[in-house]
Structure formats: C-alpha cells, structure tokens
A and B are shown apart, each in its own frame.
Chain A
Amino acid sequence: MPLIDARRRRQRGRGRGGPSTKPTKAEDERLHDPGHSRSPDPLRYRHYVAPEPVAPLTSQSSPAGGTTGDLAADAALLADLRALLGDRARDNDFERGLYRRDGSIEGSSPAVVCLPTTGDEVAGIVRICRRHSRPFLARGSGTGLAGGAVPIGAPVVIATAKLDRIVEVDIDNRIAWVEPGVLNLDLSRALAPSGFHFAPDPSSQQVCSIGGNIANNSGGPHCLAYGVTTAHIAALEVVLPSGETTMFGGVDAEPAGYDLRGLFVGSEGTMGIATKAAVRLTPNAPAVRTLLLDFDDVSEGAAAVSAIIAAGLVPSALEMMDQRAIEIVEAFVHAGYPTDAAAVLLVELDGLPGGVAAGVEIVRDVAEAHHVGHVRVAADDSERALLWKGRKNAFGAVARIKPDYYLHDTVVPRSRLVEVLEQVYRIADAYDLIAVNVFHAGDGNLHPILAFDRREPGVDERVHAAGRDIVAASIAAGGVLSGEHGIGLEKRDYMGMLFGAHDMYTQDLVREAFDPDGLANPLKVIPTGSRCSDSFRQHVPEGAWV
C-alpha cells in the first residue's frame, strides 16, 4: 500500500479532506452523508467513527523506501524545500534512515529531513508541506519512548537540532528564552552561575531537548516537588499547522483568553511546532540532602513511601529500585548500593536548611518504623552524585542481563504500588520475561523494564502482551496510561482503557481546531484503529533513559 494512503485514510475517518487534498468521490459522499452527523454543520461530526485500520508499519515500506511512491510529487516537494534550505533539506537514504525511529520503536522512513536554523524557516517548511499536502513532524533528540517522533506516512521531519540557542536569560522575570533544540541539562549548566536552574529533569536530560520536553510534558525525579514541564513554561512561540507563527501564553501574569499554552504543552507535535519558549527559572536550593534507605521487603519500602508523604513531607525526589535493579546498577556504577536488599529508596530533600534537617529526621523515623536496614545520608556532593548516578544509569545497566528492553511508564495511586508491583512480576513471569523496577515512587510513577533478547523466537509478541497487561493492571488499580513519556504511538490504542469514546472524541475536536487537515504528526495520541506491530523493541543505548 502506498504510504500516502495512511494519511488520506485518517482524514477520511475524521470526516473531511483538507483543502489541499481533494476527497475522492466516495469520500465526498461519505462527507456529505447526513447519517454520519446529527447536525448539518460538518463541525458537529459527533459520532466518533474509527477509520479503517491502516497497515502495520512494517508493511508500509514501499520499494521507494520512505517516499509516497509518487516520484514526481516527492521531487517537487524536495525542490521546494531545497529552495528554502539548500543542502539542509536532505533525502539521502543514510539520513532518512537516521530519523526512522526515536527511543521507542522501529519506525518508518521520512521523505525528507530538514534542519532549519530559524523559526521562520520552520514556518516556511510547514507552508511547503501544506502546499504539497504532506505531513510533517518535529523531532528533538529522539529520546522519546512512546514513538511520538516516529515518522509515519512519509512525512517531512523537521529536526530542531540547529535551533539550539539560549536567546536570553532574564533573571528579573525569572525566565529564559530558549530555542527548542537546546538540551535540557545544557540550559541548567548555562544558568548555574546565576543560581537558577530549569526544574524538569528527565533521566535523559544530558541528551533530551527542551522542545521534546514541551511536546511530551516531561517529568523527571524532581518533578515530585516542582511539577512537570507545563508548570515551567511561561510562553511559547509556535508555528501552527496553518504555517502561521504565533505566541501562546506570556511572561505577564495572566495572558488573555484560553490557555493555549497549557493545551499545547504535552500535545506531542499534533498542534504545531514550538520554535521558542520562555521557560521559568527555579532558584537553586540552599540546602540539599540525599538519603539511601534499604529494606528487605518491597512492601515495607512502598509503605514507607506513603508514610513519608502522609507525614506532610514533599521530598524533591523519592525514587525506588527493586533487588534486580540494585544488583545490576551496583555492578555497573559501584555506588555502594546494598545488593542484599529487596528494595532501596533514594530520597532527596531540598530547600532551606531548617526544613531539610527536619525532613531528614522525619524520613529516618518513618524508615525505622518500617524496619529499614540502613539509613545512609550522603556526606557530600560527590557521594550524592554517586547515588544519583546509580539511579540515572539504571536503564542502561539493564544491558548487563539482556541486550534489549522495553520500558513502561504508568502511574498508580501510591497506596496501590505494592499490589501493582506484584502484578508486574507475575505478568513478567507468565510471559517468561525479566522485570526490573526503577521508578518515581513518590508520585506513583512506575517504570517497569521488561528485559529480553530479541533474537529469541516469538519474544516480540510476549513483550507486547506483557506490556499491555501491565497497562491494564495499572488502570484497574485507579492509575493512568502514562506519567511522563506520553502516548505517541505506543499507547494510542490503549487510550480507550482510560477514556470513553466521547472523551476521546472531544480531544479529537480540540486537535481539529488546530489542525483540520491532519498534517501535524498524524496518527499519534488519539486512536484511529491502526496498529503498530513493532512498537516495543529497544536496544540499550546509554544516554536514552527516562
């Protein structure tokens, strides 16, 4: 099937073709069939009609490989992009191959990869895509774990790597204007002399981009106290799917109108492309304490998590690792993690010295009440860094037991952590897989890792089935699909586990207000009935952790 069909099918399913994609006669009849709509206004297309399923990605590779199969159309598109960008519009097989996938899945090739250096160029690319009815999507560092940056339908990939300037640091207003390709940790490093930092800190922060953080509303260990990305974005310059450039939010206290900024953050590239952001600066805490607690019973450790929160403490981070995770991490980083423990908690308290000191005592008391083995308080910054190194390298360290892993991301109420963890182990056993758990316990954000060797026959299906069971178990326990990785492709078809049809329909209406033609990162987030057979393979790259 030619790739272009995927996009057309989506538009048809959504009730209309875009202005630049003339509907076929059959589509036209369907569009005007009043039976599909209670109201004569096509906007009131109230019945959610799932489109016909598109073929799995693996069968989408046409002989041309990542093109529409219409050579003349592809050549015309490339010529227009070249006129704008010169040799920064690339269609060679090598570079298109580089952009096939992100941190999650084996994807498909884009038609063209563009490397704009300005927001105006991004707008120009989007306008060219519109003219050619070609989907487009932005891509940051490609560390996303839910397939949000996987190019489907031979789109134009707009890589933000060259949009990497810190434009202005405005301490007076406690914001910094940055381009989307600025790396998360680079920003905090640049801010260090001023005594401020950017609070969201995904474990991939050495390599992930701020643009990607915005697209996914990313979290990180320290979001427990400071909130996820959306709380740290004041304003966004956005190129809309129409090709217009606008500003959402503002540095002022209460920008007028609906919170388009809040809606855009976490919309995974389906409402446009951020080309500049005003991010909020958080003052560095005067005091920081990091503790390592070990338990010989996972349920005692999990109960201690709830007890710490119930005691009125909001640690800046509260992380948990299970025995398997401790073993592989200790063998890898030699941080002195107790390998005989069933679970460890990494607790960080920051703020003013009095509150931090009082917090340390509360944590100690709670830990002792839950039969803690040892309470280790990092003596200095280097010991603190070592403890964190263990946590932040955990996913890479999985390579010590199996060459591949599939990393999950769900959230459950803290009180259900033990129960869901037990289910995760049972599910992994049932599918003959190894489960490793390293996660943000403080906010109930589970990250089960299923380690496997993709060379084993049939393992793909087992991993996929186990992943689905874990999501189902989390939701049954009152949880949600994703805490910080996003929906992308990976969980798009699970949206119905959490939301009713009308809920999803409402979300689709909102997307349509931004992108009526379905060109902005199509087939992501909202289910369309398509499936993706290879959505879970993960080789272990250092530096691509959550």
Chain B
Amino acid sequence: MSGSLAAAIAPAVTEFAREVGTSGPVTVVGGRTHWHIGGPPAADTREVRAPSGVWEHEPSEMTVRCGAGTTVAELAEHLAPGRQMVPFDPTDEGATVGGVLACGLSGHRRLRYGHVRDLVLQTRHVDSDGKVVTAGGPTVKNVSGYDLPRLLVGSLGTLGLLAEVILRTLPKPAASQWLAGDADPFAAHDLLYRPSSILWNGSSTWVLLEGDPADVAAESAKLAPLGFEETDGPPSIPNEGRQSMRPSDLRTLVDTAADISASDGHRAANGAPRSDGGWIAEVGIGLVHRRGPVPVGSTSSTNAALMTELKRRLDPSNRLNPGRRAW
C-alpha cells in the first residue's frame, strides 16, 4: 500500500536510501560548517551525503522542494529570480538545507520570520531500516498526522536522515536596511513594529528593518533620536557556541559586557563595530552567539526518558549518527 505522496519519491531519494542501507553506523554530511554540534559521530561511522538540487519551485504556491544536500546558497540563487527567499541565513555559505534543519539553526532574522522549523512543510527522511518515510504535506497548511518534521528539525540526524524537504518561501522584502548605534536594544525592540533582527554585543546594537521602502524609512526615523545610523550590514556573528536564554535574561549580560567592551573596540570588515565581548545576542529571541563553546543545555529527566524512548523506537540499533548527543 502506498499513498499518493509515496508514489512520487524522487529517484535520488531512493538512491540515498539504498546508500544509507540497513546496517552499520552511518552519518550524513552537509557542509561541515557546524560539525561540532552534539559532538562528532563515533569512529568508523560511514559518511553519506543527501541528494542535492532544487526540484520544484512554484512561486505562486510559495513552496520549494529540494534535496536536503542542497546548499543554502544554491537554494537562494534558485529563488532569487522569483523575488522569493527561505530565510535560513546561516553564518557560513557552505551550509546545506539538511544541515541547517538537522541542527535547528535559525538565522539572525528569526525575530521576524520565526524558527526554521516553521518553514518546513514536508520531510522525506531515511529511517534506520533504510526506508523512506514521508511526513507533513506539500501544501502551505496541513495538519494531517503527527508533526514529525518538527521532531526531526534539531534532532541532529539521530532519528532519521533528511533526504528531501518541501519548504515555505517568502517574498523578498522590497527594502532592507541595517542600522547601528549605542542605544539600549530593549528600548529599540519596544519602539519598532516587527523588526527583522536586533543584535547586541553589550555595547553596540544593530537593527535590521525590512519591508516597504516607506515603512523602512519611517521606522528608521523612529530610531534616529536614539543615535542609530545606517550601516552596511550585521556584525560578524560567532558560530562556535549558541547559548539559549530567555529574552528578558539577556539584560543580565550587561554587567559582564561593560568591562570587556571598554578594552576593545575593533571593527569588522564592513566597518561596523565588532563584537567586543566575544558574543552577539539576538534581542527578542534570547540567543547568544559565542566565540567559544557553550555547554550543552540540559533537559528534565522526564523529557530525557521520552527522548530516549523515541530514539529507541525509531533507531533501535543506534546506527544513525551514533555518538552525537541531541540533549
């Protein structure tokens, strides 16, 4: 028995499933830009690569179907002529769609566009039996069955290896402007209507405004009294460690930042002040990007037991990314 979606599995996906096979430890390699997340896979783990290529893009449907091995850059290039985008925004151009999703790496515009998992409509993954599993659905709205795509995002390939995804696309904003200043980022957040990004290093604040040109100008004018000025782009964002905090708790970073920023004020290539304290925080989100590694977050013993049960049922022989710790 097979459903209508199952009938349409791409040959490259079937080939990937064959490559994953039915036995032996296996890990999927993307752009290796965040290979350290969750720790490296165990020695002797066989490496495979997910298929790549943009297979279907219908601008009026605002969806795109691609292989998980497609680089984010290639996807962006494909969508550009239709003036659309998938706001993944990885810190490294070589990142792949599957890698971004498996690691759950939302980009710096999450404040406006949401978590990357909210952009995933359908997944096809290869399970520990080497079989292709389809979950979610191809349409922009769907509640048919359990939301396995969200479970897979951020699971570091420990429950299944992403082979193909259908993503939601968004129209590219007509205007886009970065501003920088020394003002309180929390005040800027309260002042603006749905800004795309507010980044802060403890002393400097960067704001990204996107949308209609008149609106970008008007919102920008609101920030001028706070001392914000136009700048070319965001600061360089460290990608070694991601620290998860409540948005309001970012304020506790101020004290430590004041000491560090006084000692160092060098600038990034684009002329913007560079993160002095070794971190850049996403205001309104609560994420702190650090230059050094950050200890893995913990979860409750009840959740850990559930996650263990999920892993045990979906990958009983522990062959998918053995050694990687998703929690």
A residues sitting closer than 8 Å to B (CB atoms) are 39, 41, 43-44, 46, 170, 172-174, 216-217, 219, 223, 227-228, 230-231, 240, 244-248, 250-260, 262-263, 265-267, 283, 285-286, 306-307, 309-310, 312-314, 351-355, 357-358, 411-415, 440, 443-445, 475-476, 478-487, 491, 495-504, 506-507, 509-514, 525-526
Contacts and interface: CB of A to CB of B under 8 A. Distances in A.
Contact of A258 (B159, B213, B244): B159
Contacts of B135: 503, 506-507
B3 A263 contact: no
B143 A482 contact: yes
Given A227-B114, A227-B118, A251-B286, 4 more contacts: A254-B104, A483-B139, A497-B4, A499-B145
A252 B138 contact: no
Nearest to A286: B193
Nearest to B121: A480
B269 interface: no
Interface in B93-140: 104, 114-115, 117-118, 127, 129, 131, 133-135, 137-140
B303 A506 contact: no
A355 B114 contact: no
A244 B284 CA distance: 32
Interface string B196-225: 000000000000000111110011000000
A503 B60 CA distance: 29
Q: Please name the 6 residue pairs, one residue from A and one from B, whose CB atoms are nearest each other, closest first.
A: A262-B150, A354-B214, A257-B327, A256-B297, A355-B212, A352-B215
- Interface of B: prevailing SS: loop
B6 A500 contact: yes
Interface string B287-320: 1000000001111101110110110111010000
A216 B211 CA distance: 32
B60 A306 contact: yes
Interface in B49-66: 58-62
Contacts of B1: 496, 500-501
A498 B60 contact: no
B151 A411 contact: no
Contacts, number: 278
Nearest to A358: B212
A171 to B, nearest CB: 9
Contacts of B143: 216-217, 219, 228, 266, 482-487
A307 B62 CA distance: 12
Contacts of A484: 141, 143
Given A257-B326, A263-B151, A351-B215, A502 B131 contact: yes
Interface stretch (B70-78, B229-237, B245-253, B256-264): B245-253
B114 A283 contact: no
Given A43-B312, A252-B245, A483-B139, A309 B4 contact: no
Contacts of A231: 114-115, 118
A512 B313 contact: yes
B300 A246 contact: yes
Contacts of B59: 310
Given A253-B285, A496-B3, A507-B135, A41 B316 contact: yes
A285 B193 contact: yes
Contacts of A43: 312-313, 316
B182 interface: no
Contact of A498 (B5, B127, B153): B5
B147 interface: yes
Contacts of A245: 302
Contacts of A259: 104, 117, 150-151, 153-155
B226 interface: no
A252 B171 contact: no
Contacts of A440: 141
B242 interface: yes
Nearest to A484: B143
B219 A352 contact: yes
B313 A223 contact: no
Contacts of B140: 411, 443-444
A480 B138 contact: yes
Contact of A266 (B114, B146, B214, B314): B146
A499 B303 contact: no
Interface string B264-295: 00000000000000000010111100000000
Contact of B313 (A262, A495, A513): A513
B139 A503 contact: no
21 contacts: A43-B312, A217-B147, A228-B141, A231-B118, A240-B306, A254-B242, A254-B287, A258-B151, A260-B151, A266-B146, A314-B170, A355-B211, A411-B142, A443-B141, A483-B141, A484-B141, A496-B1, A498-B5, A500-B2, A510-B151, A513-B310
B299 A256 contact: yes
Interface string B148-174: 101101110001000000000011101
A478 B122 CA distance: 13
Nearest to A314: B171
Contacts of A486: 143
Given A503-B6, A506-B148, A415 B104 contact: no
B4 A476 contact: yes
Interface string B1-18: 111111000000000000
Given A478-B138, A498-B3, A500-B6, A246 B150 contact: no
A252 B287 CA distance: 8
